[in-house]
Structure 1
Amino acid sequence: MLGKLLRVLRAGDRKLAMCRDEFSNIPETILVTSKNFSHEDRIPDRFTQSGNNLSPDLEWNSLPSGTRSVVVIVEDPDAPLPNPFVHAIVFNLLPPMTQIAEGAIPNATNVRERSLDPPLCLGKNTFGRTAYLGPAPIPGSGPHHYYFQVFALDSERMFQRPPGRKDIIREMAGHVLAKGFLVGTYER
C-alpha cells in the first residue's frame, strides 16, 4: 500500500545529473552499454539488493578527444525524494579505461575486502557510503529507472574526501566534454 501511495512522489528525470542546467548543452555522444542488460531492460536480480548486490558491467565508447577522465553516476529519479537516489559515484577513471567489470564497484558488504586494480575513486551514495547500492525500490511503487550516466571530462577532479552528488556535480561544471547513459529498470 505504501508503494502505491508513493508512486506520485518522485524526483523526476529532469533532476538527473545529466539533465542539470550546467550539462544541458553537452553533446550526448558517449555510447554506454552493459553485457548484463540492454537499454531500458530489467536489471537482473543479482545486481539488486534482492540478489547479490553486485555492480553490473558497464562499457563506454566514443569518448571525445581531449578526454582526461571519466565520471560514472548511477541515479534513480523515481525514488520518492527531492533529488534522484544516488546508487554509486565513480570518478577519475582514466582513458584508455572504457569499462567497469561486473562486481568491480564494491558494495556495502565487500567494500573493505576489495583490492581493485586499478583502484576506483568512489564518491558517496545517498546513504553516505562509498559503495555500490543496488536497486531496492519500495514494493508496489512501480518500475524504477536506473540511469548509468557517463561523463567525459577535460581533467581529473581532486577532492579532500569522497564527494557526494553536489560536490561531484559542482566540480564537473565547466569540464564536461560529452555524456551518455544506459537505463535499466527494476520493480518489486
Structure 2
Amino acid sequence: MEVIFNALLTGIITLALNVIFFTWIKTKWEENLETYKIAYSGIFKEKIEIHRELLKKIYNFKFKLQQYGIMGNEDMAMDLFKESNDFINYYLVNQPFIKPSILNMIEKLNKEYQECFEIFHAYSVYKTPGVDPKLLSEAAHKALEVSNRLRSADFKAIENEIIQEMRADLKYSDS
C-alpha cells in the first residue's frame, strides 16, 4: 500500500510541477509574442505609411512639374525646388523602410525629375520677349518631349513597384 501511495504521490507532484512549469512557459511565451506582435505591427504600419507618402509625393511632384512645363513662372519654380528638397529628404530619412530596388528607382526618378525641371525652366526663360524664335522653338520641342516622358512607362514603373510592395506587405494579390 505504501508503494502505491509513494508512486501516486510522486505522480501527483510531477503532474503539479509540470502544470506549473508549462503555465509559466506559456505565460512567458505569450508575453514575448505580444511584445513582438506590437513591435512588428508598428513597424508594418510605419512601412505602409511611408510607401503611401512616397506615392503621394511622386504624384504631387509629377503633377506640379507638368503644370510648370505648361505655364511655368518663378513662383512655381521655387515651389518645385522646395518640393524636390522635401522629396529627397523624405526618402533619405526613410531608407530603412524602403526596399533597395525601390530606393534605386526613386533615385533615378529624382534625377529624371531634375532633368525635366531644367528643360522646363530653360523653356520658361526662352519665352521672355526678345529671345531668338529658333531657340524658343527648340526649347518648346524639348519641353514637349519631356512632358511626354513624364507620362511614359518609366515613371509608372516606380509607382507600380511601390504598389506591388504594399500589396505584398498586406498579403493582397489579384488572384
Query: Quick check: TM above 0.5?
Result: no
Between structure 1 and structure 2, the one with the greater Rg is 2
Normalising by structure 2, we get a TM-score of 0.21
The structure with the greater share of residues assigned to strand is: 1
Instruction: State the structure with bigger RCO (CA 8 A, min sep 6), 1 or 2.
Output: 1
